[in-house]
Structure 1
Amino acid sequence: MSDVVITVRGEHEARIAPERAVAHLTIRAEGAERGAVVERMAAFSEPVREDLASRTSAGTVVEWTSQRVSVWSERPWSPDGRRLAPVHYATVDFSATFTDFAVLSFWAGEVVEREGVQLGWIEWQLTPETRAAMERDVASGAVGVAVARANAYAGAIGLSTVTPLEIADLGLLTRNDSPAAPRQERMLMAKASFAADGAGAAPTVQLQPEDIVITAAVEARFGAR
């Protein structure tokens, strides 16, 4: 009796608390004179640079970057349809990586009080070492699911010996017009709320990090007899 070929899919996922948080913020200035706007943006940026450099030296910030400086002009329209004088804009983007989320919450509440600063979003991450280990574990789990399914199918038709023939990332063994990624890490954004400690006090940012979900899916082909 020839072997019966069984083709199955295995999926697995794991959730883990984030280890790092990358805060993204933008510093923005606008006005009627281009040179003055650029100078104002630079003046708004300098205290943020100094603060992040100090925190990096102290070890509470892993790394930070300042990039994507943009300067542009727009001519707005008046209510009666006339083009008004140009308005100039200047922005610069910052990102800072924190490992202590309590420090991040305090910093975020402080930085949003600075003139010209807009806090964008918080991106939760794992360290490269943890991510690589989790991906290995999740991929192994997906293979284990595929093996268990193949054995279940074989047992259902009275066969007892299952031999692996092929295993591949999702979509490589069978045609799939929209194949999913073999390993996917979902890094959810921060949920944040603002609360004041008392009258006149600066708001504190209460961060609620979501677990990072890492998934894997494989396809496998087995011979059963």
Structure 2
Amino acid sequence: MSQVTITVRGESETRVRAEEAAVRVTVSTDGPTRGPVVERAQERAASVQDGLVAHLRSGEVSEWSSARVSVWSDRPWNSEGAQLPLVHHASVELSATFTDAGALSWWLGDVAESDDVQVTAVDWRLARDTRVGVERKVAAAAVQVAVERAAAYAEALGLASVTAVEIADAGLLESRQDAAAPRMMFAKADTGPSFSLQPPELVVGATVEGRFVAE
């Protein structure tokens, strides 16, 4: 046995406390008259925006935007199959990135007091520089696991020299036609409600495949 090709997979993951929360809210109003409906939506959205601007100035929000404004009308039907008078609707979607969990809790409690405002999502994540650094460390650790596995296989075969030929994200080595969908770098919240106002731990992981030659 002069030379053997060894193909292995390496995985690694770590947990990091979330640093930011991307929040999306929708201001929605409706009524029988278009003008007052639109005006009420604009006023309530302006109030929400004022709060975001205040948090931006204090450094508790890194960015915010008003992404979408919609105005439409429809004629609902009652239980007897009769069409009712025209109803007008207006909605404004806003999003913001909070860097302070306490400020987020306060702000959500404030906006939730209005029936016109719905919190549609709170997505926890890492700051960009933190994410990049953690992903690099996790990727390097996954490669090291693959190297150690290849070395263990080679040792079991009585071979001493192990040389890496290919390293790729899971599923990308051409010879693995039956591989599952590639598992790339990911960051997700640990188990628990997505609307938790305490930053959850995020799981950052990587899976790689490596091909080695042992002799």
Fold agreement, TM-score > 0.5: yes
For residue 3 of structure 1, report the CA deviation from its aligned partner.
Answer: 0.7
What CA distance in whole angstroms lies between the structure 1 residues aligned with 2:23 and 2:207? Answer: 31
Cα offsets for 1:22-78 (capped at 9, x unmatched): 221111100112222111100111111112112211222211111111112221111
Cα offsets for 1:87-135 (capped at 9, x unmatched): 1111111112111111111111111113411122211111111111111
The alignment status of 1:138 with 2:128, answered yes or no, reads no
Cα offsets for 1:161-197 (capped at 9, x unmatched): 211111111112122464223212224697378xxxx
For residue 141 of structure 1, report the CA deviation from its aligned partner.
Answer: 0.7
Q: 1:72–1:187: structure 2 CA closer, same or farther, 3 Å change rule? A: farther
What CA distance in whole angstroms lies between the structure 1 residues aligned with 2:190 and 2:83? Answer: 43
Q: 1:15–1:192: structure 2 CA closer, same or farther, 3 Å change rule? A: closer
Equivalent residue number for residue 181 of structure 2: 179
What CA distance in whole angstroms lies between the structure 1 residues aligned with 2:178 and 2:72? Answer: 45
Maintained 8 Å contact 1:191/1:208: no
What CA distance in whole angstroms lies between the structure 2 residues aligned with 1:177 and 1:14? Answer: 24
What CA distance in whole angstroms lies between the structure 2 residues aligned with 1:157 and 1:53? Answer: 65
Maintained 8 Å contact 1:190/1:209: no
Equivalent residue number for residue 70 of structure 1: 70
Q: 1:77–1:101: structure 2 CA closer, same or farther, 3 Å change rule? A: same
TM-score, length-scaled by structure 2:
0.91
What CA distance in whole angstroms lies between the structure 1 residues aligned with 2:97 and 2:123? Answer: 9
Equivalent residue number for residue 199 of structure 2: 209
The alignment status of 1:8 with 2:14, answered yes or no, reads no
Kindly tell me the number of residue pairs found equivalent between the two proteins. 213
Q: 1:27–1:188: structure 2 CA closer, same or farther, 3 Å change rule? A: farther
For residue 6 of structure 1, report the CA deviation from its aligned partner.
Answer: 0.4
Q: 1:161–1:215: structure 2 CA closer, same or farther, 3 Å change rule? A: same
Identity of aligned residues (%): 46
Equivalent residue number for residue 106 of structure 1: 106
Root-mean-square deviation (Å)? 1.9
Q: 1:17–1:11: structure 2 CA closer, same or farther, 3 Å change rule? A: same
Find the residue that maps to 1:191 and give its secondary structure.
coil
What CA distance in whole angstroms lies between the structure 2 residues aligned with 1:188 and 1:24? Answer: 20
Find the residue that maps to 1:52 and give its secondary structure.
helix
Equivalent residue number for residue 51 of structure 1: 51
Equivalent residue number for residue 203 of structure 1: none
Equivalent residue number for residue 42 of structure 2: 42
Which residue type is aligned with residue 119 of structure 1?
V
Maintained 8 Å contact 2:17/2:200: yes
Cα offsets for 1:173-224 (capped at 9, x unmatched): 122464223212224697378xxxxxxxxxxxx6233211111111111111
